[in-house]
Structure formats: C-alpha cells, structure tokens
Structure 1
Amino acid sequence: MRKFLIYIFIFHFFPLFLIAQEGNQAEQLSLAGYTPDGHKKWDLLADVAQIFPGKKDITLKKPKGTLYEKGEPNLHLKATSGTYAPDTGHVFLQEDVHLKTNEGSDLQTSDLFWDSKKSLLKMKNDIQIVKENNMISGKNMTIHKNKNRATIEKNVTLKNFNKHANEHPSVITCSGKMEFNYDEDFVELFDNVSIVDPRLNLRADYMKIFFDRITQKLDRVLCQGNVMINQDLKKAMGEMAEYDVSDGAVYLTGNPKVLKNNHILTAENITFFLNKEEVLCEPSAQLVLFFSEEDRDFFNI
C-alpha cells in the first residue's frame, strides 16, 4: 500500500481539496481551518491517516487537535484513534480522549464529537475534569468554544479539595445541569443542589459557586430557592443565602429561620456563623419557644 503525506488547508470553509485516493495510507495528516480575517481557527494532525474503499471519512491514528482564539492556541485535544469527515468538517475522537485548556483544566473521556466549523464539542459518555483543587465528573458535556461556555447535563459531582488542610473535600452535587465559562472562576448548578462541607450541609434549588482565582478553593456561594442549612444541632432555612467560605458565615434572607434545641429565631436578615455559637438576627428579630412536635409543624420545621 502506497504511503504519502497529506496536507489539507481549509480557507474560509471553501470546499477542500484532498490529495488522496481510496485505500491509500498517509504517514501524516495535517489539516487547518481559518477565520475570514485570516487567523487560524483550528488544526488537526494524525500520525497515520487512511481512506478505505467506499468510505468518505478519513480514519486517524493518534490524532491531535488544537482550537485557537484570535490566532493563539488555547484548547488542545488528543486521542488514540478517530475519523475526519471532509464534507462536514466533523471529527470523531475515540479511546483515551484528553482535552487540555490554557487555564489548566484537564478533561478525560472515552469519545468526543468535534464540529470544526461551529467550534462545538460534545461528549455523551462519562467525563472527568481536574483543575487545581477541583475534580468534576458527569455525563453529556457540551462545549461552545466560541462562547467559552460549557454544560454538563447529568450525574454532576464537583469535589473541592483543600490540600493544605487535613480534612475531607467539599462535595457538590445537583439533579440538573452545571454550566460554567472557561475564562471565569464560577460555576452554576441547577435543581436540588447540595454542598456537603466539613463545616455544614447546604441545599438549594440553584447555586452559583465562586472559586479563588489563585488557589481555586471555594470562596463564595450564592443560593436561591428553598435554602436549607444543617450544622451540628443548628438548622436554618430561607429563600436566599450567601455563604462566605473564608469568613465561615452564611447570610440568610427571604423569611429566614434558625432552629436550635427548643427555640426558633426569625428576622428579616439572619447571619449564621459556623465557627462560633453566634447568630445575628436583624431587624425585627423574634424568639419563639416550642415544646412539642405540633409546634414544630406549625413553623414548617
């Protein structure tokens, strides 16, 4: 079988010209796509490329791809095998797929679909992302590279590790999706969101979680809808909350309540301190005592 070198350059998505014949095997494949203003948008390399009789797609061995932003590389792909469809610009990567960003994220999965024209990447199977002190796992992930936006649809779990402290990681889960930008230091989680932290358990319908830009540790959490907090013997609830992780304080609003032992504290705003036995209620603070389960049911506790 004759071996040769294939170079394909695609300008402005005009029809490409492929120097190849059916059954031929190339020692190396090199493709590139460019924006209308001449900046490189992507490239694709492979150690071996082959076109089989009756097939339009090019089979790739050890493919490597790069996506560019303003002519500079910022997302890198590699896999054990894959295919390239010249008529659509679609790339399918399989087996030991890795994706790395300039921001330090390292993603692993079993297969990946890449629409080179739309800068769209999709992964249907399980994914795992590692960045600094964070590990994210889930299923059905989509990356819109033009928007630097990513979504994980199912089985979302985020673990935030504190490498400088001898404690368990913070574990964050949700029943819905997680969304995040690669160039931002926050993630958004939807539907029955839960944080199991060494200091508290926190639940809400929606959370926006911010990370420290340098250490990537949890910094601040904004919660909306049916907020519930459990810490030792204390329980708190409200419609909205802000959890300041470094200060160890939770600020509750929206008909907030704090329950401990035989009393309930209510106010317009409640500050729930995690590191000390102190709760700040203001204004319109009230203390309600109860002595039976019927009393608790009255306050929906």
Structure 2
Amino acid sequence: MILKPSHKMKITFRKLFIFCFILFEFNLHGQFPEENPPELLTNPDATVVTSNTFKMDQNIHQGFFSGNVIAIANNFKMRSNEMTVFFDENGSEIKKLIAKGEAILIQEKRTAKAAQMEYIVAEDKLILTGNPEVIEENKDHVTGNVITIFRNSNQMFVDGHSRVILLRTTQAQDQQQKK
C-alpha cells in the first residue's frame, strides 16, 4: 500500500521545519550580547572584536584572536572559536579575515554557519567551507561544499553538492505567520 501525505500532513511538516528553524535561530541569537557595543554609536563604521586572548604580530601583519571570538559591526555579528586578521603592509587596513571553528554570521536577512569563513575585504566576498549553510530571509536554506557570497552585488555561488530549499510564501501567508 502506498500512502500519500494528506494536506494536513504537509502543513505539519512545514510547521516542523519552521519550528526547527526558529529553534536554530534562537540558539544563534542567544550567543551574542543583547546590545551593540557603545563604540558603534559614535563610530558607525567600527568593528568591535572580543575574545579570550589576542596576539598581534606586526612583522607578518596579522592579529590572532582565540577563544569565544565575537565580532560586531552595525551590519553583522560573527562568532567563532578563533579568528585571524590580515593587515596591509602599513598595518592600517584589513585585507581579509579568517574565522575558524563553529563560525556563525548573522546579518539582517541572512544567517550563515560553517567550519571556516574567509572574508576578503576588497572584493566584499565571503567564502564558507566545512559544511556551510546559509538561511536567507528566514525561509530559503542553501548548503554545499563551498558557498561564496558577494555581499556588494547580493550574489551567491555554491560549489559541490548544492542543495537549495526555497520556501516562498504569498504575502497573505507572510502576514498570517507574523500574527
């Protein structure tokens, strides 16, 4: 005998997915301070990084954060076990940063997690590796071997075993879910 899921079962599966996503989101948001650091009020372009330890090596133009690393700016929050920041030869500008170990990034409409995240400043490019996942606008879910996000053009590329789940709803469904 073949069982076909009824309409009621489909709604139940959808509600289960949404519940799991909300639980996932709650756990992610619980890992960050409730309020942004006060430095962001006086300097909106600032990024504040806290960690258990910090080491700077000006000879190789690198900074090393480790243990409970939290980076907060006005447009994102990131958490990882460690982070390496690469500076230019003058030590005045950040060229790239690499966050490793349970890296999580939260932006207004996007949540991402991966074993490693590399951000290349000049290209405004984020490269996610190690079981990367991206959730867009609390609906769409993207996985693959490597996910590359170009933030300035709002483009995303997935290399290797891409899986995309699109959960678009109508405007009426969106309003009903908000109630």
- TM-score normalised to structure 2 length: 0.64
**Contact 1:199/1:274 (8 A) holds in 2:** no
Query: 1 CA distance for matches of 2:79 and 2:87?
Result: 18
What is the deviation of 1:227? 0.6
Establish whether residue 188 from structure 1 lines up as the match of residue 58 from structure 2: no
Does structure 1 residue 171 correspond to structure 2 residue 48?
yes
Could you tell me which amino acid in structure 1 is paired with residue 163 of structure 2? Q
Q: Which residue of 2 is the match for residue 288 of structure 1?
A: 165
CA distance in 1, matches of 2:117, 2:62: 17
Find 1:279's aligned residue among 144, 156, 167.
156
Secondary structure of the residue that 2:67 maps to in structure 1?
A: strand
Q: In 1, Cα distance between the equivalents of 2:89 and 2:58?
A: 12
- Name the residue aligned to 2:140: 263
d(CA) in 2 for partners of 1:218, 1:201: 17
Match for 1:235 among 91, 106, 111?
111
Paired with 1:197 and 1:211, the residues of 2 have a C-alpha distance of 18
The Cα shift of 1:248 comes to 0.8
Q: 2:83 corresponds to which residue? A: 207
Which secondary structure state, in structure 2, belongs to the residue aligned with residue 196 of structure 1? strand
Correspondences of 1:136-155 after superposition (within 5 Å) = none
Q: Taking structure 1 as reference, are residues 276 and 199 closer, same or farther at Cα in structure 2, changes over 3 Å only?
A: farther
> CA 1:199 to 1:213, structure 2 compared with 1: closer, same or farther past 3 Å?
farther
Name the CA shift for 1:197/1:213 in 2 (closer, same or farther; >3 Å). Answer: farther
2:128 aligned residue: 252
- Distance in 2, matches of 1:198 and 1:272, equals 19
The corresponding residue for 2:172 is none
Q: CA deviation at 1:285?
A: 0.8
Larger relative contact order (CA 8 Å, sep ≥ 6): 2
Give SS of 1:258's match: strand
Extract unaligned runs of 5+ from structure 2.
Answer: 1-36, 169-179
Query: What's the TM-score, normalizing by structure 1?
Result: 0.39
* Identity of matched residues, %: 22
Which amino acid letter does the alignment assign opposite residue 203 of structure 1? R
State the secondary structure of the residue aligned to 1:247: coil
The aligned counterpart of 1:295 is: none
Runs of 4+ in 1 over 4 A off after TM superposition: none
Alpha-carbon shift at residue 181 of structure 1 (Å) = 2.0
Deviations 1:219-240 (A, max 9, x none): 1101110111112201111001
Distance (whole Å) between structure 2 residues aligned to residue 198 and residue 221 of structure 1: 17
Deviation for aligned residue 1:199: 4.0
- 1:85 is matched with none
**Which residue in 2 is equivalent to 1:115?**
none
In our comparison, the structure showing a higher alpha carbon Rg is 1
Structure 2 residue 93 is matched with structure 1 residue 217: yes
Which of the pair is proportionally richer in helix?
A: 2
Amino acid at match of 1:288: I
RMSD: 2.2
- C-alpha separation between the residues in 2 aligned to 1:217 and 1:197? 16
CA distance change for structure 1 residues 245 and 197 in 2, over 3 Å: closer, same or farther? farther
> Are the equivalent residues in 2 in contact too, given 1:235–1:259 (CA < 8 A)?
yes
Instruction: Name structure 1 gaps, 5 residues minimum.
Output: 1-156, 160-165, 292-301
1:287 Cα deviation from its structure 2 partner: 0.8
